[in-house]
Amino acid sequence: MAKTNLIISFLLLLSFFSSSLADYSTPDSICSLTPHPNFCKSFLPFSNNNPLAPSSLHDYGRSSLSHSLSHAQDFHSMVDHFSSAIPSTSYSNPLQDCHLLSELNIDYLSQACEAVKGKDTFLEDYEADDLMTWLSSTITNQETCLEGLSQYSASPSSSFKNAMFPHLYDGELYNSVSLALFKHGWVRDDYQPSDAGNNGRWLAESEQIVSKLARSRSHHLLPRRSHRPTKGRSLVVADGIQVSQIVVVNQYGTGNFSTISDAVAVAPNNTELVDGYYVIHLMAGVYEEYVSIPKQKRYIMLIGDGINQTVITGNRSVVDGWTTFNSATFAVLGRGFVAVNVTFRNTAGPSKHQAVAVRNGADKSTFYSCSFEGYQDTLYAHSQRQFYRNCHIYGTIDYIFGNAAAVLQNCNIYSRRPMDNQFNTVTAQGRTDPNQNTGTSVQNCAVLATEDLKTSNVTTKTYLGRPWKEYSTTIVMESFVDGLIDPAGWTPWNASSFALDTLYYAEFNNTGPGSSTRDRVHWLGYHVANETDAKNFTVSKFLGGNSWLPQTGVPYTAGLN
């Protein structure tokens, strides 16, 4: 009997492994892992009779990534072709956006292809987190390109858009399939960014940090008057922050540069953290300047003289012909960017609709003690991993929006008075795919009204958010929510039922007169979160912040309060 039981157990075990292998060897089973199974089966090289066809989930994942990369390269060439064929007008803006975004996608997909080459085992969690972030961004980038082109639907140059749109739609599908297969093939089921380590701590006040950085110039790290900074040794200042170069921007001519863009232009390219931060001390003043920090300008630290003392301002808007993406006063892509003590402003006003103060697509970027001022679409947390601490954000409609993995901590979030007959929405998160690792986490913040909203004779409803995209993901936790927030808490997109079942909106342990969840919306996607759920949106678990925030010197809370 014992021998018979042993044989039965062995056969059951063999059956289990056989069924598990079968789950990853047929078109239906492979593609059922993705949000788009029919599209998946249309391009992956399934063939029972083809010895060169993929034979495992990892092979199919590599094949999908290769197709995504090839498609991104083809689309980039298409954008180049149309850009050269069309006169430089306001319509060229969305093409410029698409050119940049498709270039980023080529980078991310190339890195993903290289990372999984010949590897049929799970990646280390830190590497999986990087690649999940970058692959998530490829979908966001496709969507952003499409939105920019769609804003110009009445343009007479519609023929090339008709040619580009199918490629954009297909590109988003390719990237979605690749993200899903990557997640199932190389990411552990229990994967989470590491929550090991201690909180970062900015032991000195930021003014003292600036003073220390200024003193380091006397050590010949950077000649004060030089307009061509010479790279010196990496210097450790301000509680362990690595600094390679320091420059001063003063619009009155007493620094190294008179414009921010000039200081950025001479920053070294493609540096790593071990090379140290390139520090720009931006002295007090109002800088009427559009600043873009490109992807190759990594580990730049921008330190101003204080909120409302150092101000970067502009007034671009969609009404005046810019895309939302390109309306930003300040835009950053360079990895590891840090900003301290700066006000970023867009003065276009509520009548100009979308008008961005800051667009952030920089991975592992940090804003500390900064202010973001605008009306509609103030802070565009576009993509990648982002952290905001002790900041002030002002706006009206969807004024914290985008599809980054973003945590706002200890911030004051101010709703302003919009135009008559408008309502305010604090957030409009833009997650479009269930496998993206994106969302907006608002922790230990204060959700408040500005004086002009408080004293207005016009009744303005204000909501915590609305779903911009199908899988919109936002949590407000451990925060003070003032009485300006409508009892329903959240509002649909354009009064429709779009995304109400697929979104994830949550609240946890909030206080204040607007924090009661008793009369909140009754959507399938709305939740009063428990502690376990809330922990998933903390700095350590959502951003893997313990692995990169300490190097910035910025204080943070790793978990729940």
Active site residues: 398
Rounded CA-CA distance 303/209 in Å is 9
Closest among 207, 158, 177, 219 to 60, alpha carbons compared:
177
Phi, psi (rounded to 5 degrees) for 315:
-145, 30
Helix (H) or strand (E) holding 247: strand 241-249
The residue length of the chain stands at 561
d(CA 111, CA 182): 13
Q: Confirm if 298 and 276 have CB atoms less than 8 A apart.
A: no
Token look-up 């071990």 returns 274
Kindly list the distances between the CA atom of residue 376 and the CA atoms of 398, 415, 529, in Å, as whole numbers in the listed order: 6, 10, 29
Calculate the CA 27 to chain-centre distance. 33
Contact call for residues 288 and 313 (beta carbons, < 8 A): yes
Q: How crowded is residue 543: how many other Cβ atoms within 10 Å of its Cβ?
A: 27
d(CA 512, CA 500): 26
Contact assessment for residue 178 and residue 61, using Cβ atoms and an 8 Å cutoff: yes
**What are the structure tokens assigned to 383, written together?**
């993509």
Q: What is the full DSSP assignment across 483-531?
A: TTB-TT-B--GGGS-TTTTT-EEEEES-BSTT---TT----TTEEE--H
The angle at the Cα of 484, spanning 482 to 489, to the nearest 5 degrees, equals 90
Task: Tell me the three state secondary structure of residue 366.
Answer: strand
Tell me the CA distances in angstroms from 158 to 87, 89, 282, 416, one per residue in order: 14, 14, 43, 37
Distance of CA 141 to the CA centre of its chain: 11
Q: How far is CA 91 from the centre of its chain?
A: 26
Q: Distance (Å, rounded) from C-alpha 479 to C-alpha 511?
A: 6
- Continuous H helices in 354-505: 451-454
